[in-house]
Amino acid sequence: MNAIISASELADELAGGAPPVLLDVRWQLSVAKAAGEPPFDGRAAYAAGHIPGAVYVDLDRALASAPGEGGRHPLPDLAVFGAAMRAAGVSARTPVVVYDGGQGWAAARAWWLLGWTGHPSVRVLDGGLPTWEGPLSTDVRQPAEGDFQPVGGTPGLLDADGAAALARSGVLFDARAGERYRGEVEPIDRVGGHIPGAVSAPTTQNVAEDGRFLPADQLKERFRSLGAAEGTDVGVYCGSGVSGAHEVLALAVAGIPSALYVGSWSQWSSDPDRPVAVGPDPQ
């Protein structure tokens, strides 16, 4: 099954006899704001209008555990994650579609986590909510309890040592903005720069101006040009394992399997014993 779905395809499936479970995962990275500016409230955005039938999922509570040694968005406790998914109506035999406000990062995190824990059919709405042309709803749906039971320990996950090794043996993509990769700016973490050997591949270059993914052949050519040759092991990291999931999704659209270093730069840079590279050169 394709990893992404268009708004028109989603509308057709929702109108059919076996609609997918639909998850609204609107979220924005919390960074320093002007004094008095409130943080983004995904639940309030959902309440103000969402695709009919969608259930809201809180990324920080359901798709990650509390910030700490594992980074800003470590893996959630699987029991907590499973309970949240079942409460949202997710079952093992029912397809799932996830969307966010258009950036695609949060939806990709849900897509990756559901797939990594064993759900066989998860897709992301390409371009997110802005591509939806149908009506919006303010009804808060209370779905029937699902039966999804997440399973950990499957391939597709990197830790810090695994990411360091992959940067030498395969290709490790850094999905952050180029200036953060080069260490020119670092608005969030302790130190700027990148994992030695990692290749800069900003996730923003995987999409068109409307937020939709580039065609699969263009994505494949992009990643091949950056070192993801046939048979090469590929990994991705970002700041805290959210935008990196979007890069993993782009790689999947291109037909290239990859693994995600969830701790990402927020974990790596917090350890003073981990080496840091700066500048445009991977090393």
Per-residue pLDDT of 15-39, as tens digits, reads 999 999 999 999 987 654 545 567 8
Nearest 5°: the CA angle 243, 4, 231 is 70
208: tokens are: 């068109």
Catalytic residue among 238, 245, 252, 253: 238
Q: Which helix (H) or strand (E) holds 85?
A: helix 78-87
Q: Give residue for tokens 């805290």.
A: 240
Q: Which residue has the higher pLDDT, 32 or 200?
A: 200
Q: Are 237 and 195 in contact (CB under 8 A)?
A: yes
Q: Are 167 and 197 in contact (CB under 8 A)?
A: yes
Does the structure show a pLDDT above 90 at 219? yes
Examine the residue annotation and report whether 187 is marked as an active-site residue of this protein.
Answer: no
pLDDT at 32: 45
Mean pLDDT of the chain: 95
Task: Look up the pTM and report it.
Answer: 0.96
